[in-house]
Structure 1
Amino acid sequence: MARGREAILVTGTVLVVLYAQLMYLVTQVLTPLSTTPGKTLAEIAAAADAAGEPVFTPLAVALPLGGVALAVAVLVTALRSRAFRSEWVALAYLTLVACGLPVYFALAFGVGMSLADLGGVLPVTGGDSDVWLVLANASFAAFFLALGVSAGLVVRRAGRGTRTLVGPRPAR
C-alpha cells in the first residue's frame, strides 16, 4: 500500500474519532457545566432525572459512534479494495467530518432545550461552551476541502475524456 494512502486512512479515521469524542464531550460535559455554573454533572443529572428532562441520553453516544462506525467502514473498504482510490477515500473522510456539524446541531439542540427546561430546578444561565466552534471550524474546513477534492476529480475525469476526441469531420 502506498504511503500516501496509508496516511489518508490513518489521518481520516483518527480525525473522525476525535471529532466524535469532542462532540460527545461538548454536548454531555461542557455544555451542561457551562449552562448551570457551580453544579456538578451528578447534580445536573439528578435534577434532569427528577424533572424528566432527557439531558443525558443514549442518543448522545449513538450519534457520534455512528460516525466512527462509518469511518471504520471506509477504512475496511479501502483496505480490502484497491479500486477505492486514495482521492475517493479522502473525499469519504472529509464528507464524514463535514456532515458532523448538522449531527452536532441536532444533538445539541435537544440537550440545550432540556437544560433550558431545568430553569425552575437549577440556576440556568443560558451560557454555552465555545468549544463547539472547533467542531464548526473542522466541518467547514472539511466541506471546502471536499469541494476541492471533488473539483479535482471532475477535472481529472474531464481531462481523460479529451484524449479520445476526434477532429472535425470533413464536409460532404
Structure 2
Amino acid sequence: MTRILPVAGALAVAAYALVGVLSIVVWDPMAAVPGASHAEVVAGVEGSGESWTTGVVIPLALFAPGVIVAAVLSAVAVAGRLRWSTAAAWQLGLLVCGAPVYFAASFPMGMAVADAFLVSGGSHQPAPLALYGVSALAALVLVIGGVVALRGRPSPEPVAA
C-alpha cells in the first residue's frame, strides 16, 4: 500500500492532465463544429487568423508542471524519503488545482474556435464536468483526510502554572 498509493496518485494526476488536454485540443473543438473533421477545424481556426499552436501549447504548458510534481512526489515517496500520506495529500491538492488550470488552459482554444466558427466559447462536451467533479471529489477527500488526521492526534497537555 505504501508504494502503490503515491504511484496511483501520480497516474491519476497524469490521467487528469491527459483528459484535460484531449478535451481542449480535440474533443471540444470537434463538438463545437459538428460534422467537421479535426483537420477541418484546425484549418478553419488557422484560416481565420487564429493560432492553433497557441491553443495547443498553453494546455500542455499549464498541465505539465502538475504531472512532473506528482511524478517527483511519487518517486520520493517510493524511495522512502516522504510519507505516502503526505505524497497523497499533495497529489490530491494537484487534482484540486486541476479545475482552475483546465479553465485557464481551455480559454485560448475556446476563443479561437468561437471566433473562427462563430460558435459560443463555452464547453460543448461533458469532459470538463467530469474533470471538475474529480477536482471536487479530491477536495472532499483532502478535507476529510485532514479532519481524520487532526482527530487522531493526542490532545495537548494542559500547561501548568
The two structures share one fold, judged by TM-score above 0.5? yes
Find 1:100's aligned residue among 77, 98, 101: 98
More moved, 137-146 vs 108-117: 108-117
| Secondary structure at 1:5 match in 2 | coil
Q: Which amino acid aligns with 2:57?
A: P
Instruction: Determine whether 1:6 maps to 2:3.
Output: yes
Q: Deviations over 1:76-102 (max 9, x none)?
A: 2213343x2222111011101111010
Pick the aligned partner of 1:22 from 19, 44, 56: 19
Contact 1:95 1:143 in 2 (8 A): yes
Rounded to whole Å, the distance in 1 between the matches of 2:21 and 2:134 is: 15
- In the alignment, what sits opposite 1:68? 67
Structure 1: stretches of 5+ with no match in the other structure: none
Does the residue aligned with 1:38 lie in a helix, a strand or coil? coil
Q: Which residue matches 1:149?
A: 145
Q: CA RMSD in A?
A: 2.1
Q: Which has the larger radius of gyration?
A: 1
Tell me the CA shift for residue 13 of structure 1.
Answer: 1.3
Residues 87 and 149 in structure 1, CA contact (< 8 A), matched pair in contact too: no
Amino-acid identity (%):
28
Once the 2 structures are TM-superposed, how far is the Cα of residue 125 of structure 1 from its aligned partner? 6.4
TM-score of the superposed pair, with normalisation by structure 1: 0.82
Counterpart contact for 2:3–2:77, Cα < 8 Å: no
Deviation string for 1:86-124 (max 9, x for gaps)? 22111011101111010000111222111111136xxx4
Gapped regions of structure 2 (runs ≥ 5): none
